[in-house]
Amino acid sequence: MKMWLGASFSDTEQFVELALAAERCGFETLTLSDHLFYADFETPYPYSRSGRPRWNARTHWPDVWVTIGAMSAVTTSLRFAPNVYIAPVRDLFTVAKQVSTAAVLSRDRVTFGVGVGWCKEEFVATGQDFHTRGRRLDEMVPVLRSLWAGETVTLDGLPALSISPVPAGRIPVHVGGDSEAALRRAARLGDGWIGNRIYTEEQLDPVLDTLRRQLDATGRSGQPFDVIAPLAVLPDAGTYKRFAAKGVTGTLAAPWWLATPEEKARYGDDTLELKIATMERFAEEVIAKL
């Protein structure tokens, strides 16, 4: 079971220190989320009962790839992934160049966590079509793979082209979302699936069933395929091992969400010191026993 650190909603100046602590504590990957701006969204947020986002205008949303570049400069083994990057709200070449550069600078420690997005306002602001985002992502991923491999591609209306720099290794693609279309896209195009909500066992089981069915349909059953599922369980090595038997290869944890009253009293609420202290406790009580 791979342990990913869910560092979304952290203040920007904390990320470098969180990356150092994550590597020291044995986390495999650090994740952060992607949004372009905050507004009074009319589009309902799909992962809350109220339809309202879980954050506010003061929540930090640093650029994913700039932040990964900074974190990779101070670490040697920790991997990085957005959960998830909204590729179709950008043009193909912006995505290709940003991800490729981050992969080169990190020496192949980037996983491309990608999704279609939910926020129509962001698409309107960048001039991208919200309603065709799924189809456009389906078209983007194979071209991105070719560009990252250093290949020359031919696109309608453009001369044959390539990009540089490109990484030495292959960039894994993990598709986010738990709709039927997203799970089908993950099985068809991805090296894995990454959940972008916290799942109870009852919520996760049908997602896993659908993934297995889609992998069977694409002839990929039995091939390596990551399943990264944030789990609504108390941290426990035995529980994680039980989910691994269901096919879950990794999960996300933000140990400071379960800080004890004593830890909050000692370090303060949402401070860097609290986060590092709870990560160290999590490493000793959970990661070391996996």
Residue entry with tokens 């693609």: 173
Taking the C-alpha atoms of residue 187 and residue 255, their distance in angstroms, rounded to an integer, is 30
Is 219 contained in some domain? no
Is 163 contained in some domain? yes
CATH assignment of the domain containing 138: 3.20.20.30
Number of domains in the chain: 1
* Domain extent for 155: 32-171
Is 1 contained in some domain? no
- pLDDT tens readout for residues 99-124: 999 999 999 999 999 999 999 999 99
Give the distance, in angstroms, between the CA of residue 130 and the centroid of all CA atoms in the same chain: 21
Q: How confident is the model at residue 207 (pLDDT cuts 50, 70, 90)?
A: very high
Nearest-5° angle of CA 134, CA 139, CA 141? 95
Mean predicted confidence (pLDDT) in 59-74: 97
Is 177 contained in some domain? no
Closest CA to 8 of 80, 69, 110, 105: 80
Is 78 contained in some domain? yes
> What is the model's pTM?
0.94
Amino acid in position 189: L
- pLDDT tens readout for residues 1-42: 999 999 999 999 999 999 999 999 999 999 999 999 998 888
Average predicted confidence (pLDDT) for the chain: 95
Provide the H-helix boundaries in 106-234: 120-126, 133-148, 180-189, 201-217
Is 143 contained in some domain? yes
3-class SS of residue 192: strand
- pLDDT tens readout for residues 43-55: 988 878 888 888 8
- pLDDT tens readout for residues 141-163: 999 999 999 999 999 999 999 99
Is 18 contained in some domain? no
Backbone angles phi, psi at 257, to 5 degrees: -65, -20
Give the distance, in angstroms, between the CA of residue 90 and the centroid of all CA atoms in the same chain: 17
Is 72 contained in some domain? yes
